[in-house]
Amino acid sequence: MVQAIENRTDLEGIVTRRGPDPDREAYDLLDVDVELAASVEGYADLLSSRAGGRVAVSVRRELLPEGSLDGARVRLRARLAGPGVVMADADPKAVSVVPPGSPPSTLEL
């Protein structure tokens, strides 16, 4: 079994789809068009290269508002947890959702 290196990247973008994560109970998958990505001090940055693309991120459902998030801006700290698996940190301070049309931030989580 290959163990992933400790990594974290701050991501920000627009949610294009929300649905239940088929592999993790109590998690939703958010498809995010990543606009901004920033490394996190002290961690390897394995996700900044995804800026400008779409990423599916698994997020604990309890950290998200209910209902559709289409068009909402999401800011989160994430990690590459395995091949093709991106997970948001479970810390409530590491995930925020703001209404559609909100301007980009400076990625300060």
Q: What are the φ/ψ torsions at residue 90 (nearest 5 degrees)?
A: -85, -5
pLDDT of residue 105: 67
Q: How confident is the model at residue 99 (pLDDT cuts 50, 70, 90)?
A: confident
Number of Cα atoms under 13 Å in the Cβ half of residue 54: 8
In this predicted structure, the answer to whether residue 108 has a pLDDT above a threshold of 90 is no
Percentage of the chain modeled with pLDDT above 90: 82
Tell me the per-residue pLDDT of 39-67, one tens digit each, with 9 for 90 and over. 999 999 999 999 999 999 999 999 999 99
Q: What is the mean pLDDT of residues 97-109?
A: 70
Distance, CA of 73 to CA of 101 (rounded, Å): 8
Q: What is the mean pLDDT of the chain?
A: 91
What H or E segment, with its residue span, contains residue 76?
Answer: strand 73-82
**What's the pLDDT at 106?**
59
